Structure 1
Amino acid sequence: MELRQLEYFQQVCRLGSVSRAAAQLHVAQPSVSIALQKLEEELGVPLFDRKQRRLRLTQAGERMLQHAEAMLRCRNNAQEEMKDYEASRKGRILLGITPVIGAFVFPSLFAAFHAAHPDIELQCTETGSLATRRKLLEDELDLGLLIISDAPPGLALRPLAQSAIHVCLSPAHPLASATTLSLPQLAKEPFLLFQEDTYMRQLILEECSRHGFTPQIRFSSRQIETILSLVEQNAGVGFLPADIARKHPRIVSLPLTPPLSIQAGFAWNEERYLSQACRVLLDFCEKRTNEKFEQE
């Protein structure tokens, strides 16, 4: 059994097609077909049900895929660890950042980290928390800086900060003079929410459902400034971490009752080797966050 065969097998499973897997791997289609045939001959069981138009895994194939992914991950981890010995504290980190947490936690940390560790490159991708979690579990990112509340199994977590969620209103809104607001009080209000791949949106919609209503979503955006601008113009109500909402004097931010909160932090695939560069970033951010809270 060769690792190349397992790589081909894994790609065919992911894409459901020998031809698409060959194109993804940049090899000839017969090479993939022969590798799969030899793998099945060596194992002595069929891995695919070829009666269907789309390749489907047999029960043995499903089990073999688990073994293949574990072996390939072990190979990748070994390679990354060996690179670390050579690179020491240099390297590149593929970091997923969510819009909310990016604005809430990251800007000051990024500048300070770059000044302290100029040889470590941060290659950042902005997606919602739910999409970032998926990318971490599929090994597309090294680390994620995101909302870690209710994180799924398979992710290791390093908490950084917690914040209450506030309702954001225009000063001209009839409810702007309240001291707190409950979601049922907002049932007839148009909502301005983050896009569907975000945990904040999921949390708000789940809480609305728990209170027996489905809100009217007037606008969805990935940009905090867009939502704040629409709130300011009284186009609807938004929801943001209190630490962000309070910084904008042209809107009114009110706590929810009962309160809702989110936990910000780092996450990574617990089965993946965590590079030295990633460990440096985690330790640096944790230290900076602790110092900030001690000063406050």
Structure 2
Amino acid sequence: MELKQLEYFQMTSRLKNITRAAKRLSVSQPNITVAIKKLEAELGIQLFERSQKQLSLTPEGAVFLNRIELALRNIQDAVLEVNDYKQLQKGTIKIGIPSMIGAYLFPKIFSGFQKKFAHLDIYLYEKGSMSIRESLERDELDFGIVIISNASPSLQLLPMSTNQVVACVPEDSPLAQKDSLSWSDVSNIDLIMLKEGSFIRNLIQQKLKEHNIQPNIILESNQIETIKGLISSNVGMAFLLDFVVQDTPHIKTLPIEDPIFVDVGLAWKKDRYISKAAQSFINFCQDTLNK
């Protein structure tokens, strides 16, 4: 049994598709197919149910996955720890950031951290908060600067700020004359939404569903400047965090009648070895907050 076989099996289990797993791991599809077949032959069991279009684990495969995920995580942590001893002046950090937070909050943190720790390499991955939190739980990222409200207990959290979700409407919209927005106001309005995987999108959809409102979504984008441009051009309205649209020309921000607040912060996986590079980032964020 080889380590690569276990890694291929793990990724295929997560993505439920050999082609996508091969692309994620940068290997050929036949390599993964052969590795899994050899693994099944060695174990004497069938790991996947192949009668469906989408691969699914057999009961035996699910038990095996639960066991090997812990083993692979321990191996990854061991490699990190050894590299810390071997390369005390080097390190890499993989950070996930949503576009909304990334454009307005992270640059300030990154600039200061890079000046202090120029020898560390930082890799950024832009996704929605929900997607980043899932990637953290799968050990695909070291950190996420995300909306941490209602996060999984498996994540360690460092709150950074509390922000309000506001309705953003064109300044010449009839809604701009109001002091606050009711959910009934949204029923006949063209809505610009963040893409799937966004915490704000999920939150707004949940609120609209609670009020039996079917939104008229005309466009989805994670490009915040594009969304703001569309709002100011009277294309539609959107829900964003307050600090993103503060003092933006041609846009009026309205609090929701039943205000929504969310916490933004740093998240990382509990019970994992924290490399010296990762610990330096945690310490820097803590020091920045205390200033």
TM-score by length of 2: 0.86
Q: Which residue of 1 aligns with 2:219?
A: 219
Change (3 A) 1:68 1:189: same
Q: Which residue of 2 aligns with 1:39?
A: 43
Q: Matched residue of 2:281: which SS?
A: helix
**Bigger mean CA offset, 11-20 vs 102-111:** 11-20
Q: Which residue of 2 aligns with 1:191?
A: 191
Q: Is 1:48 the counterpart of 2:52 in the alignment?
A: no
Q: 1:154 is matched by which residue type in structure 2?
A: S
* Structure 2 segments unaligned to the other structure (5+ residues): none
Alpha-carbon shift at residue 134 of structure 1 (Å): 2.2
Alpha-carbon shift at residue 155 of structure 1 (Å): 2.3
Q: Is 1:273 the counterpart of 2:277 in the alignment?
A: no
Change (3 A) 1:124 1:56: closer
Alpha-carbon shift at residue 165 of structure 1 (Å): 1.0
Q: Is 1:82 the counterpart of 2:86 in the alignment?
A: no
Matching of residues 27-176 of structure 1 within 5 Å: 27=31, 32-40=36-44, 46-48=45-47, 52=51, 57-88=57-88, 90-176=90-176
Q: Which has the larger radius of gyration?
A: 1
Contact 2:5–2:35 under 8 Å retained in 1: no
Q: Matched residue of 2:101: which SS?
A: helix
Contact 2:191–2:219 under 8 Å retained in 1: yes
Distance in 1 (CA, whole Å) between partners of 2:221 and 2:189 is 17
Change (3 A) 1:64 1:210: same
Q: Deviations over 1:116-173 (max 9, x none)?
A: 1111111111111122122222222111111111223432222111101111111101
Q: Matched residue of 1:258: which SS?
A: strand
Contact 2:149–2:263 under 8 Å retained in 1: yes
Contact 1:208–1:214 under 8 Å retained in 2: yes
Distance in 1 (CA, whole Å) between partners of 2:168 and 2:244 is 10
Q: Deviations over 1:66-103 (max 9, x none)?
A: 11111111111111111122233531111111011113
Alpha-carbon shift at residue 258 of structure 1 (Å): 0.7
Alpha-carbon shift at residue 249 of structure 1 (Å): 3.1
Contact 1:22–1:29 under 8 Å retained in 2: no
Moved over 3 A (4+): 1-36, 47-58
Change (3 A) 1:20 1:33: farther
Q: 2:96 is matched by which residue type in structure 1?
A: G
Change (3 A) 1:39 1:278: same
Change (3 A) 1:184 1:108: same
Distance in 2 (CA, whole Å) between partners of 1:157 and 1:53 is 39
Alpha-carbon shift at residue 61 of structure 1 (Å): 3.0
Q: 1:136 is matched by which residue type in structure 2?
A: L
Distance in 1 (CA, whole Å) between partners of 2:270 and 2:16 is 27
Distance in 1 (CA, whole Å) between partners of 2:19 and 2:218 is 43
**Bigger mean CA offset, 139-148 vs 14-23:** 14-23
Change (3 A) 1:256 1:37: same
Equivalent residues, number: 286
Change (3 A) 1:165 1:7: closer
**Bigger mean CA offset, 58-67 vs 102-111:** 58-67
**Bigger mean CA offset, 214-223 vs 78-87:** 78-87
Alpha-carbon shift at residue 231 of structure 1 (Å): 0.9
Distance in 1 (CA, whole Å) between partners of 2:187 and 2:230 is 18
**Bigger mean CA offset, 179-188 vs 22-31:** 22-31
Distance in 2 (CA, whole Å) between partners of 1:18 and 1:234 is 45
Identity level (%): 34
Distance in 2 (CA, whole Å) between partners of 1:190 and 1:226 is 16
Alpha-carbon shift at residue 271 of structure 1 (Å): 4.2
Alpha-carbon shift at residue 56 of structure 1 (Å): 5.5
TM-score by length of 1: 0.85
